[in-house]
């Protein structure tokens, strides 16, 4: 027995939209996490940040980043996720350090590695 599909009806339907669950950006590393896992990630990320920062040369050490302030909208306790993510992303990007030679920005531990091979490009 053969199975038949009505092709005319499948073309008229709207394609199914797959919605991602809401994600929150970590203010330390700039990565996206789920709304429940961000509370697990942030303390671990901060601990890792302190370990890495303490291992840097003194001139590259940074002050501890401050968590962006979260304000609720209205009286129901809703939050503007886009505003939270934008301020967290800006916080993560502000921790990048520019290379003295080429001006590109890096995390401090990666800047040391980059500067070993960075050469001033002379325009032709």
Q: Where are the domains of the chain?
A: 21-117
Whole-angstrom distance, CA of residue 38 vs CA of residue 70: 14
**pTM of the predicted protein model:** 0.66
CA distance linking residue 79 with residue 28, whole number of Å: 20
| Residue 27: other Cβ atoms inside 10 A | 24
> Considering Cα of 88, then 60, then 46, then 71, what sign does the dihedral take?
negative
User: Nearest to residue 28, comparing CAs of 84, 82, 69, 67?
Assistant: 67
Tokens of 53: 């920062």
Instruction: List the chain pLDDT tens, one digit each, 124 residues.
Output: 555 455 555 555 666 777 777 888 999 999 999 988 999 999 999 999 999 999 988 888 888 988 888 776 666 667 778 888 888 888 888 888 899 889 899 988 888 899 899 887 766 6
């Amino acid at each position: 027995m053969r199975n038949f599909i009505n092709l005319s009806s499948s073309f008229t339907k709207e394609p199914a939209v797959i919605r991602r669950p809401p994600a929150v950006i970590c203010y330390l590393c700039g990565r996206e996490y789920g709304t429940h896992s961000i509370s697990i990630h942030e303390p671990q990320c901060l601990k890792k940040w302190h370990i890495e920062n303490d291992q840097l040369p003194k001139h590259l050490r940074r002050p501890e980043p401050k968590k962006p302030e979260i304000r609720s909208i209205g009286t129901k306790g809703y939050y503007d996720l886009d505003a939270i993510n934008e301020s967290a992303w800006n916080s993560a990007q502000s921790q990048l350090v520019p290379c003295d030679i080429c001006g590109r920005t890096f995390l401090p531990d990666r800047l040391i590695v980059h500067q070993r091979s960075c050469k001033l490009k002379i325009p032709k």
